[in-house]
Amino acid sequence: MCQTAESFLLPAVYGDTLAISKMKFTVSLVAKSSARLGSLSEFARIPEAAFETPLLLLHTRGASVPHLSYDLLQMVSTENHILQMPLVTLVDHTRNVKAFGKGIAEFAGLKEYLNYVSVQDPSTITPEGYHEKNSISLWTRGGRKLINPETYMSCIEDLKPDMFQAIVDGDTTSVSSVKRVRRSVDDTIKFTGACADLKEKSEILKDTPMLASITGGYNIKERLRCIAELKGLGVAGYVMDGFHTNGESATNLSWEDMEPVLTETLSSLPENLPRAFHGPVTPIVLLKLVSKGIDIFDATFPWLVAERGGALVFPNSLPKSNAPVIETLPCVKTPSSIAPSENDGTTDKKPNKEEFVDRVYEINLKDKLFFDDRRPLVEDCSCYCCRKYSRSYVHHLSATSELQGPILLMMYFAPRVFLRVVTLTFYFLLNRHNLHHYINFFRTIHLAIREDELQALQTKLEEFVSCRRK
């Protein structure tokens, strides 16, 4: 059973802080599980745009959705979306954007889309242990860059985003020391306060919504301290940070370890502000986060799967007539719980990264198993890839580029163009399918919350995972 937000004594439109920040967050429905339906609206640049939550941010690198041009992105989805633009992929180009003078949206040719600048790239593992007293490290193609709040806010002014994350020290995991956790909270409090002061003084950013990050690793006491210290800064929302270090580390999160910390943290946050969780978490963990009241996620998981040659095949619709999950896909191994870097030296065999990747939600189109498989990636999928091509063809694109690569790279112009086209086509098709699949998954999540079927959707996914495990 679901209840309206009003029955929880929540107003339909929240407080003065959000009005000042030129963004409105409205909760329209709260389920028994704490899952929420809501909307983000009234952004300064595109006031008529409204986005239903739970919201999926489209992941970008260098202000471009990977492997998808503007026209191709329109073919994946014509809906309104907010683009996530990690500063780490843009920091080397902020001077060019500033010289252009119209902000990153127009600079990238994506002015129809609102954008949100995050600090780190959730799709890529952030190196641990590089800390300075008054700055954080951004790892760009050109190497390590130290960024303090003043430099950070200067970059944000150059980019002119529609929403941004305050600078944060989120370098903690489940095994971080107490000293490291306390340092991350101290730095985050200091950095966020500095960003809030600089934002207030900026003519460019004073009306731009800023999200503050809640850090503290897996230490409940430190997370509550972070929340208490950040109150009164007039932020537009919160990011649940410090649970992982991005990239594959997010796909290996232990819900049993994270759940009590997250529950206590969320219960101490104001209910009238949106909560975000960055990183490529698995679909089941994502559903559990939704059930706890997280409102904003990013599309790094489908991108990460595409980059390793995988196509998403997990069920992304509500179960029909309680029919059991019948799965004929190949079984996959349960990933090792030991990180590749933790080889104990008892064997000369180097750890294989594939042993630590969980492919239970996907099929690996690089596998020879699909050499003669004429079926679409997913039956009844309406995406361009599934309508036009078979698994065997997509596998062929991968195999062709790998086999002919060493030869063609030694030739001249035309062969090199051919190789690049084949390679890009492979990742383009996978990314296009995966993004389409994930967008439909979020549509189903909205429907499941509305019809109080979120647990049924989670059960269906768990049955699917169980069927594929060896």
DSSP letters of 291-311? HHT--EEETHHHHHHHHTTEE
The mean pLDDT value for 351-371 works out to 82
Say yes or no: 129 and 210 in one domain: yes
Neighbours of 144 (CB within 10 A): 10
Place of tokens 């998403």: 312
Q: What is the DSSP string of 154-201?
A: HHHHHH--SEEEPP------TT--HHHHHHHHHHHHHHHHHHHHHHHH
The pLDDT score that the predictor gives to residue 13 is: 36
Contact partners, residue 383, CB within 8 Å, separation at least 6: 76, 432, 433, 436, 437
The reply to whether 170 and 22 lie within a common domain is yes
333 lies in a domain? no
Q: Is 464 helix (H, G, I), strand (E, B) or coil?
A: helix
149 plus 281 within the same structural domain: yes
Which of 194-203, 336-345, 380-389 is predicted most confidently?
194-203
pLDDT score at 68: 84
Comparing 82-86, 116-120, 241-245, 349-353, the range with the smallest average pLDDT is 349-353
Binding residues for Zn(2+): 381, 383, 386, 433
End-to-end CA distance of the chain: 36
Residue 330 has pLDDT above 90, yes or no: no
Give Cα separations from 341 to 170, 175, 344, 352 (angstroms): 21, 15, 9, 10
Query: Is there a single domain that holds both residue 65 and residue 188?
Result: yes
- Of residues 430, 366, 359, the one with CA closest to residue 398: 366
pLDDT band at 45; cut points 50, 70, 90: very high
- Asked if residue 394 and residue 280 are part of one domain, the reply reads no
Residue 136: CB atoms within 10 Å: 24
d(CA 379, CA 364) in angstroms, rounded, equals 16
10-26 burial code (b ≥16 CB/10 A, e <16): beeebeebbeebbbbbb
Q: Residue 236: which of 85, 24, 408, 424 has the closest Cα? A: 24
- Does any domain span residue 340? no
| pTM confidence score | 0.88
Please state at what angle helix 454-468 crosses helix 283-292, rounded to 10 degrees: 160
Predicted confidence band of residue 239 (pLDDT cuts 50, 70, 90): very high
**Mean of pLDDT over the chain:** 86
Whether residues 300 and 376 share a domain: the answer is no
Whether residue 23 is contained in a domain is answered as yes
Kindly state whether residues 207 and 300 are assigned to the same domain.
yes
What is the tally of structural domains in the chain?
A: 2
Q: Tell me, yes or no, whether 330 lies in a domain.
A: no
What CATH number does the domain containing 123 carry?
3.20.20.105
Q: Are residues 319 and 290 in the same domain?
A: no
Domain residue limits at 140: 2-307
Binding site as annotated, residues: 381, 383, 386, 433
Where residue 17 falls among pLDDT bands split at 50, 70, 90? very low
Q: Which amino acid is at 196?
A: A
Report yes or no on 367 lying in a domain: yes
Please tell me whether residues 382 and 401 are part of one structural domain. yes
Are 11 and 29 contained in the same domain? Answer: yes
Confidence at residue 56, expressed as pLDDT on a 0 to 100 scale: 98
Query: Higher confidence at residue 58 or residue 426?
Result: 58
Helices (H), 77-177: 94-100, 103-107, 149-159
